[in-house]
Structure 1
Amino acid sequence: MTLVSALCAGMLAGCGGGSSASTGSTGDSGSNASGDAYNVTVIVKHTDGHFNKVIAGARAYGSEHDNVNVEIQSPTSATSYDEQVNMIETALGNPGIDAVVIAPQQSTSTATLVDTATKPVVALDTDFTSDKKACFVGTGNEDAALNGGKAVAEACKALGKDKPTAVIIAGVQGDETHEARLRGYRDAIEAAGGQVLEVQYTDTMPDKAAAAMEAVIQKYPNGVDAVLSIADDMALAAAKVIKDSGNTNYADTVLCGFDGNQSAIEAVMDGSLTIDIAQMGYDMGYKAVEAAVTVLEGGSVESFIDSGSKVIDSSNIDEYVSDMKSKGLWE
């Protein structure tokens, strides 16, 4: 069974929309000979292509270390705030859990929740400010978006659009990760002499992204040069709206996604998307659990551990797919 197959099997209960998608202990992890196993709970924002890779990496660390148990929990959606708050409170208060890794839906409320934590806490994917936080493991989102935005500007210039006009399809307003990506995109377009015409917040919901793209086409019927999305699902929704609109003025619009999910990479392959910014989600999950265990063992960790990113286009897509296949993350 591939890692993805095992992951999907373990997550069936959560995918059904229950209040908690806890998947229990990971792989073959269990107590070591002395019975001293570390129990690490990883609480993600929700389950999608990116977080599936994060979860796979976290599970892989547990599978490789007999003295580490990894439990995964996921709220029903990216905006199920109360659900995640309850998960965090429960994990922090459970004496059987040794460390908690959190991808916060709301950074401010998460910081408040961990204020009295008596166990190691690691921020995952999205940072938050707290003296109780051991470190943050994630993508350098602003730099990643900046690099992707530069690639978008270059693609526009290759089409003769030296001062590209752009629309940014954002996610949840106030989310630190999404705002960092927005800043990176904006800086890249403006540095290239271009202009960001619109920023549309969509709560990371594809249907809202589709509605936003429809509004953009209505407002700018003569086309825009680039559409940059802060997540793959929104980019794919925008691409479908453009295709279905039949507006030929959008035929050569440069489309950029962010995550590196299989569906988006396949869209780059077939030309539906131009560029995708791939997060190294597997490495992110692996390194987050690794950092938690290091702290439990009395070691020190850097305050920020960058799990990396890569701008994917037609020039390097085969290399990326090969890497995903080698980790069992390509169906």
Structure 2
Amino acid sequence: MMKKKLRILLIILLFLVAVIGCIVKFYGTDNRPKVAVVLQDLDSQYWNIVKAGAEKGFREFDIDGKVVAPSFKSKKDVQEYVLKNVLKEHPDVLVVSPLQSSAVKSILQKFIEHQIPVLLVDTDIPLKHKTAYIGTDNFELGRKAGELLASALQPGAKVALIAGDVISPVSGERIKGATSSLEDAGIKIVAQKIDLPNEALPARKAMTTILENHPDVKGVFATTDIMALSALDVIKKQGNKIPVIGADGIIKMVESIEDGTLTGTVAQNPYDMGYISVETALKVIKGEEVRKNINTGVDLITNDNVRQKLDFLKELLK
């Protein structure tokens, strides 16, 4: 009889252990701060550098974090879908680089309504009650790019600008900044190809058209490195050698400086964007006050620092 009671007690005990185990598994025991980082894509080198910075932040600040992005490039509805899934998980803070979409903006407002602070990284948009923007001062980037391009030319030289959506706060501000410094230096902007997708083929076509209509163009500023490298490819194939300034500092652009194809370029700091956005998220979780606009700076890359920059980027993307 006693043995039977012991067996019953043992069965009950095992059942309770199993139930408790399921409850712990369901609710989790990780009490670390939870931060979700939603980027525009993870297909390009640029966004993978942002990801590397964010993941370094997760490790250093002991944060339960993840980086996600749409599976298909430039699909605004896909980013909206990603954000909806993240909202269901209710992170402590959302870090997001938003695509230009009313639907994306609408779902971000829902995060705010659910008392989830929203930090914008890389791309700033007019979002009511956002906590902060972490990224480049794009007007300043354009201004420095224009100055660098002008420094390689004589007053009166003709240049071309290649850009994405100039209504956006990224491309538009970069073009404004570049135009300002180029005009101040007496450089003539004779062609602008704008509202292009950030893809190689449209940029190549744009550069081909520019050279057909303005064979005496002496320089180019493009608002992304993908566009800049595509323009450079067309220029080289036509046997020309003129300065082309990009904006992102990806490896191939930096290598063009090291091999002597270009003398310099300007670059954002995507790694710092990722890292600082996570650092800022933790401050928000702790209730600390943070700046509304956190400028991650712009680097000038020349022969003097190209090897250091290249080594850093290659180490990141191993």
How far the C-alpha of 1:38 sits from its partner, in A, is: 1.8
Distance (whole Å) between structure 2 residues aligned to residue 275 and residue 168 of structure 1: 17
Match of 2:93 among 88, 99, 108: 99
- CA distance in 2 between counterparts of 1:226 and 1:265 reads 18
Is 1:70 the counterpart of 2:59? The answer is no
Does 1:195 pair with 2:149? no
Who is 1:58 aligned against?
Answer: 54
Q: Which amino acid aligns with 2:189?
A: V
143-152 or 52-61: which moved more?
A: 143-152
Q: Secondary structure at the match of 1:71?
A: strand
| Aligned twin of 1:217 | 211
Q: Which runs of 5+ in 2 are unaligned?
A: 1-28
| In 2, Cα distance between equivalents of 1:173 and 1:181 | 9
What secondary structure does 1:288 align onto? helix
Distance in 2, Cα, partners of 1:218 & 1:108: 38
2: distance between equivalents of 1:262 and 1:88?
A: 30
Structure with more helix by fraction: 2
3-state SS, counterpart of residue 235 of structure 2: helix
CA distance in structure 2 between the aligned counterparts of 1:274 and 1:231, rounded to whole angstroms: 17
2:243 pairs with 1:254: yes
* Pairwise CA RMSD: 2.0
- Partners in 2 of 1:224 and 1:78 — Cα distance? 32
Structure 1 residues 83-94: aligned runs within 5 Å: 83-92=78-87, 94=88
TM superposition shift of 1:306: 1.0
Deviation digits for residues 207-235 of structure 1, max 9, x if unmatched? Answer: 110010111111112x2111111111111
Q: Distance in 2 between matches of 1:88 and 1:198?
A: 38
In structure 1, distance between residues paired with 2:146 and 2:160 = 12
- Given that 1:127 and 1:176 are in contact with CA atoms closer than 8 Å, whether structure 2 keeps it comes out as yes
User: Is the counterpart of residue 123 in structure 1 residue 107 in structure 2?
Assistant: no
CA distance in 2, matches of 1:108, 1:139: 23
Stretches of structure 1 that go unaligned for 5 or more consecutive residues are: 1-33
Q: Distance in 2 between matches of 1:96 and 1:104?
A: 18
Q: Distance in 2 between matches of 1:330 and 1:76?
A: 20
CA distance in 2, matches of 1:197, 1:70: 47
- What SS does the corresponding residue of 2:246 show, helix, strand or coil? strand
Q: Which amino acid in structure 1 is aligned with residue 53 of structure 2? A: G
Secondary structure of the residue that 2:126 maps to in structure 1?
Answer: coil
Larger Rg: 2
Superposed displacement of residue 108, structure 1: 5.1
SS of equivalent to 1:132: coil
Q: Which residue of 2 is the match for residue 281 of structure 1?
A: 270
1:233 to 201, 222, 226: 226
For residues 276-313 of structure 1, what are the alpha-carbon distances to aligned partners after superposition, in whole Å with 9 as ceiling and x for unaligned? Answer: 21111111101111111211121111001111111112
From the superposition, tell whether residues 51 and 62 of structure 1 become closer, same or farther in structure 2 (CA, over 3 Å).
same
In structure 1, what is the Cα distance between the partners aligned to 2:174 and 2:33?
34
Please name the residue that 2:316 is paired with: 329
TM superposition shift of 1:244: 1.2
Query: Partner of 2:167: helix, strand, or coil?
Result: coil
What is aligned with 1:141?
A: 138
- TM-score normalised to structure 1 length: 0.81
Distance 1:75 1:172, change over 3 A: farther
Offset at 1:96? Answer: 3.8
Q: State how far apart, in whole Å, the 2-side matches of 1:292 and 1:273 are.
A: 38
Q: 1:322 Cα shift?
A: 4.6
Matched, 1:296 2:289: no
AA paired with 2:57?
A: Y
1:175 aligns with 2:168: yes
Instruction: Give SS of 1:227's match.
Output: strand
| Structure 2 Cα separation of the partners of residues 146 and 173 of structure 1 | 15
Q: AA paired with 1:308? A: G
Structure 1 CA distance for aligned equivalents of residues 117 and 131 of structure 2: 6
| 8 Å contact from structure 2 (residues 159, 191) kept in 1 | yes
Report deviation, 1:274.
3.3
Letter in 2 for 1:42: V
Structure 2 vs 1, CA of residues 255 and 77 (structure 1 numbering), >3 Å: closer, same or farther?
A: farther
Query: Do the aligned partners of residues 89 and 65 (structure 1) sit closer, same or farther apart at CA in structure 2, a change above 3 Å counting?
Result: same
CA displacement, residues 113-132 of structure 1 (integer Å, 9 cap, x when unaligned):
32232201100001012233
Shift of 1:141: 1.4
